[in-house]
Amino acid sequence: MSTKGLRAVCAVAHVLVLLSPLAGGAQSPRAMTIVDLIELPALGDAQLSPDGGQLLFVRSETDWEGNRTVRHIWRVDADGSNELQLTRGENGESSPRWSHDGTRIAFLADRSDDEPTQIHLLRNAGGEAEALTEHPTSVSNIAWSPDGSWIYFVAADEPSPEEKAKADAHDDVFAYDEDYEQRHLWRVRVGSGEAERVTEGGFSVAGYELSRDGSMLTQQRSPNPLFGDFERSEVWVTASNGSDARRLTDNGVAERGSQLSPDNEWVLFTSGSRSDLGESYFNTNLFLVPATGGEIRELAPELGYGLDQAAWSGDGSRIFVLANAGVRDLVLSVDVADGAVETVLDDDHALGSWSYLPELDRHVFTRRMSTSPGDVWTMDSGGSPRQVTHVHDDIPDRFRLPREEVITWSGEDGQEVEGLLFYPLDYEEGTRYPLVVQTHGGPASSDQFGEWSSSDYVQVLAAHGYMVLKPNYRGSTGYGDGFLRNMVGSYFDQAHLDVMAGVDHLIGLGMVDGDRMAKMGWSAGGHMTNKVITFTDRFKAASSGAGAANWVSMYAQSDVRTYRTPWFGGAPWEADAPLDVYWEHSPLKYVSNVTTPTLFLVGQNDARVPMPQSVEMWRGVKHQGVDTHLYVAPREGHGWQELRHRLFKSNVEMDWFERWVMERSWTWETVPGEEDEEPATISDGG
């Protein structure tokens, strides 16, 4: 199957078989609920043992009593047998890493609410885990040295005694965006537990990778640990003890995933830039630079996909890449000598937790599809994927799932646009159905196969008679730089028109009832919702999650400005600032046009799209006399994590859509075990 072009490929429909009571009394599949989606286990951080015989992974489970998700480490044989939970700490564990000989497992755990996260060691043969570190600050980003004598980690510097004393005395006035400690690289000797610093200075280590022989390190050094300053990170190479530091890049774009070639001659990294590394906001590309410094080479400049992760082959002649190709992920092989690209894996799926083991020439990943939220798979280069875990195998037998397919349409200017369409469970050809349009965040991302989020709950919408459209509008990744960079110079140029063209395409096919439609999205999807409700009155209801209202104030309030500068052509506080461009593309400017009943949702501690953005938009909509509510989740940042908050979001949106689109009531789902309590409702007041 070709990796190029936009394809309308229908996913396999689910055949619902009514099982006979005589065959063990099994029940027929039922529709999914919001709680079902929240309670789906999530698998990630898959790690293959050095000999390829076993595999570690992290499994997340819901803890309703604690109102949280807890992660534990599991082990399974590579053939899928002997699956075993290894850790059971109250606060969970993460980041399992095999020792070089496969006899021990290092992982991170917080064994006390009052103590920082530390490295723990567990023998693969069994026994109790023991803490290796007693670092004064929480440890992250762990990696074994190839000889097994050291474990490297990143940790924030410890506050000074004076800073601690002030904090204890509540003498804690702080300088905004200056109240941080730098994050540096350390290593701990496995035999003794003695730790030593590897890097030191006025910078933070944003990422690192040991060479295969353990003699050298690559690092991404950023001026500080603030998210908004990551674009100022640069690639460095040092000896494994931090000495002999050499800077390899010097530019204004962010680099990621730097790693040395097997012979330590070259450093590979990815960046959302082009060959001169002079401008950002492109699909992520591959770059090579000599480890001694010198000219930087872009490896696959014409590919047009988002090359998100990369790894050297065993002999260094090729680079394997996890690529975003719009609605699907690919695994590619790029020839280092000539940049020739071959497809290693192409299917209707999204891949996560991808890694490559050169010693075994084997890939490991989770694989999300229309029938599975993501089990762990392995694949030899040139071979076929092999499923290892089977956590989600029973989902098609337990639940009725919507048909999912790729559709394409022409944007207003003729550009081909791609998206995913989910059908109502009892779809009948020739019938027009209500539609919910969901736009993804980013916007430099894409909606892909295998949607299982309780935030989008497409399975629940499909069960209640809705068709769901997820358009990869202009600005999405995986469709070439021109498609992505349509956002540059004007945030809403063609993107919202792409969305509406997709809606009209479905109406034209006789599939959608244009008088019964809703719009929703989070982050950039919320920006889009705010734009759409000021642009058209065709939607009966809308929900805007963490959406921007005023791009001028948003630029100053948010913890990141990297993307917004190219969108609008400069900062709003520059001399001759393009304020007219900022304001023209701010939904708040046209809020007087809004007639769509709209919900606004935001986390109280959201640093990415701060709460005042939702307040501005909500006040503007409310002023028009339009039905609206603003819901704020305490303690939450840009993505809501607490289980009850996630349940509330889905409930309140379903209630809103049912009321305005379907003109019927919604029975709120409750926390398991609390079914007898009175369900919540929303008021009719503005």
- pLDDT tens string 378-435: 999 989 999 999 999 999 999 999 999 999 999 999 999 999 999 999 999 999 999 9
Query: Token pair of 350, please?
Result: 């999204």
* Cis status, amide bond into 612, omega within 30 of 0: no
What's the Cα-to-Cα distance from 635 to each of 369, 602, 608, rounded to whole Å?
32, 11, 14
Return the pLDDT at 681.
57
pLDDT, position 26: 63
Please, which contacts does 270-279 make with residues 24 or more away whose CB atoms are closer than 8 Å? 270/307, 270/308, 270/309, 270/310, 272/444, 274/298, 274/301, 274/481, 275/301, 277/249, 277/251, 277/253, 278/251, 278/252, 278/253, 279/253, 279/566
Q: What is the mean pLDDT of each run of 10 residues along the chain (686 residues)?
A: 35 31 63 98 97 97 96 98 96 97 97 89 94 96 97 95 91 91 97 96 97 97 92 95 96 93 97 85 94 94 91 97 97 95 96 96 97 97 95 97 97 97 97 98 95 96 98 96 92 94 98 98 97 97 98 94 86 93 96 98 97 98 98 97 98 98 97 74 50
Beta-bridge partner residues of 184: 155
Place of tokens 């830039």: 273
| Confidence (pLDDT) at 682 | 58
pLDDT at 684: 52
How deeply is 28 buried, as exposed, middle or buried, from its count of CB atoms within 10 A (0-12, 13-18, 19+)?
exposed
Question: Could you tell me the pTM of the whole model?
Answer: 0.92
Q: How far apart are CA 249 and CA 296, in angstroms?
A: 8
User: Could you give the CA distance from residue 117 to residue 62 in angstroms, rounded to a whole number?
Assistant: 21
Nearest to 530 by CA among 456, 442, 589: 589
Q: What are phi and psi of 583, to 5 degrees?
A: -70, -35
The pLDDT of residue 534 = 97
Helix axes 524-535, 495-508, angle to 10 degrees: 70
Measured CA distances, 674 to 633, 640, 642, 652, 671 (Å): 21, 21, 17, 18, 5
**Burial zone of 25 (CB within 10 Å; 0-12 exposed, 13-18 middle, 19+ buried):** exposed
pLDDT of residue 11: 34
| Percent of the chain that is helix, strand, coil (3-state, to 5) | 15, 35, 50
**pLDDT at res. 9:** 33
Count of CB atoms within 10 A of residue 161's CB? 8
What's the order of all strands across the beta sheet hosting 372-380? Answer: 350-357, 362-369, 372-380, 386-387
502: three-class secondary structure by DSSP:
helix
Q: 649: which 2 tokens?
A: 């979001």
Q: What is the pLDDT of residue 303?
A: 87
Q: What is the CA radius of gyration of the chain?
A: 25
Q: What is the pLDDT of residue 7?
A: 35
Instruction: Provide the pLDDT for residue 21.
Output: 35
**Distance from first CA to last CA of the chain, Å, rounded?**
52
User: Which tokens in the block code for residue 429?
Assistant: 């050809």
